[in-house]
Structure 1
Amino acid sequence: MDFAFDARTEELRDRLLTFMDEHVYPAEEVAEEQRAQLASPWDTPAIVGALKAEARKQGLWNLFLPDAEHGAGLTNLQYAPLAEITGRSPHLAPTALNCAAPDTGNMEVLAQFGNDEQKKQWLEPLLAGEIRSAFAMTEPEVASSDATNITTRIERASEGTDEYVITGRKWYISGAMNPDCQIFILMGKTDPEGADPRRQQSMVLVPRDTPGVEVRRAMQVYGYEDHSHGGHAEVVFDRVRVPVSNLIGEEGGGFAIAQARLGPGRIHHCMRLIGMAERAIELMCQRAVARTAFGKPLAQQGVVQEWIADARVAVEQLRLLVLKTAWLMDTVGNKGAHTEIQSIKIATPRTVVGILDQAVQLHGAGGVSQDFPLAELWAAARTLRLADGPDEVHQRSLARRELKKYL
């Protein structure tokens, strides 16, 4: 394993760091000011469009997609340090580079499993950043940590037309509040009584403007509505009709497609989380040297020094594990890296939440306020202990794999 950055990664990394300094960080406050003036909080501030245009101009576009035909053609190992950098401003930078979830996962699904017509109609405008998308999987009525529980029905129309009828209720559907969101990739059951519970599900494309699709409300995350990502919506599908040609892949293939989608998604989240932790450490150090308590700077207080030292050790450990995982995904594939993918998904959000919590503590009242990004970063990191499978599901699966060697 050689984790030294190759020439292309170094060059992209230098350009991205400059882009962050010159464009993204200055835009953070501007975006909030512009959002306050918008007719709807879900509209996109003008500065975001300017950032996207500049990123595309600089060749910092679709870096996440290893498919050279559609994306930058980077390996996971090459993309890891770039995703980490964008994680320092998670509500702006990924969107600016067209590397934001859930669009990234949806583009990967369409690139890998979509047919030519689906790619032309939906993948091409997503790659161009002209539209946004959402992934409709999680449901409020069941424990969605077990995807076989999904109850949304995808049924053939009884009158013999070549259509599916979709009925179900989803929530925490990221991006669905954004008016630019034009397409849902929906997971539901086409064969609810099938003998194999992992062959009951299918995925279909549902245009947002289809009759019967109701984006009902934005779900909050610790009081945040996450306007920058287009919210996390509750969506009702009331006898929604779409052509059978909107099926992605084959009937019964939804579970396998979801697993293919979630592998890269999990490591992308972990990469960005490391960037969030780095920003937290930076803010901690700045605060520690600027504030005095009980006669000396906070930087000289033993407990603060311990927090900063422990945070640095933890981040270095996480980075090495994420890089190893990226290397394995590139060399032996996602299945071969299953243990490591689950390991980083367990360790990274949990550890970064702890670092952010200490950063909040060091900032006192400021840490929980809107004047610093820490509270919102904490909410985002805490959510990632649930997104793409909660800690306990990954722990269960990982433990079974370890125990299998002894049974």
Structure 2
Amino acid sequence: PSNQTTDSNNTYPSPTRSKSTGNLLQNLSDENSRTLLMEMIAMANRGSMDVTLLPCDAQILICSYLPPNDLLSFACTSKSGRKMLDDGCEIVDGPSTCRDTALLIWKALFRRDFAWILSDWNIGREALLRSMACYDNETIQEHGSLHHRKVIGHVMSIVMHTAEMWDEIEPFNTPFTGIISTPASMKEFYFLFSEVWINYTIAGCNTTEKCLIGLHGHVVDISNFVEDHPGSTETLLLQAGRDATVFFESMGHSRSARKLALGMTVVVNAQSIHWQYTDALYKERYTQSSPTCGLLRPSSKLLGANKNIPGFLIPLKRSRPRVQGGLHAIRSRLKAEQEAELQKAQRWIDVHLGSESLYGGIQVYYDPFCSCWRWWYMNLDFNPVFSESMD
């Protein structure tokens, strides 16, 4: 058999898989993968094992069962762990295949945790098409240090699995041709997307026909409810198309309102679920540990009937937004940039349009594919208008 692993437009060398390795791959599960990882960490700490000597396919499959926080811990324990998982760092004396393996590990995690909302969810597909319409290869090469075309090409190879998607993307200046070999960080793209996906995908979804909000890390489709809102339709439209958790909690919504929101949830963020909690209503204690991570469909068997119990997806009473795992450096940078971008956008509106030319305020979101901030607002005809960031 060939000694090469082919992924999208790239070919990576990989060791021949032995019979014992084949048995290992067949018997893996999330539970014994974690046990195996812990043993690997212990051996690496004793200096008795270099995990990068494992076959590449074994490394990728083992890591694909694990949550990202376990992998981050592993990367901090030893030099070999860092070689295995950091595709954006130069490792002294590290083989050239280490970076490619690390990229494919984080690509596998992105496919597992996020890809479906871009390929199968109509709202996410519309957001991706919006990005591709504005994609500028030259700008990305010059300024997009976190999003080199190699990473974008790998991400696109995940979501472009249907002929229909190819037909929709083909007219644009897409990044899958002429992919360069410049090192890029798929790991950083993974955590960046995990921070911005809500505002990125539902931007502009604040009309009576298509009205979505972010709530405690999940996405709720309130299109069929917006005109029946006890407050007012306008109140919901002004808060829709973005994460509205802070506004929702500031209003002190009742338990019945929270239960109503559960039935309209269309994307569930497993990192925002309270897997261990006590439900005072049913006097039952649940001790189930988190079996998964990433984004789930509400119909997922992993959620079961628990999704309809108050407190599981959304807190029972007024509370702060649930904290998700991720990289602190990325979250802090995005928060600072968002505040600065909002101020810049408001100044631009005041000078060029005037507040009387739009309904509500101007909103900003980060486009992870184009590595830039974008603005949007609702005009007086109640239609969303998108714009690139302007000086």
Q: TM over 0.5: same fold?
A: no
User: Where is the helix percentage greater, Structure 1 or Structure 2?
Assistant: 1
User: Normalized against structure 1, the TM-score is what?
Assistant: 0.28
User: Normalized against structure 2, the TM-score is what?
Assistant: 0.29
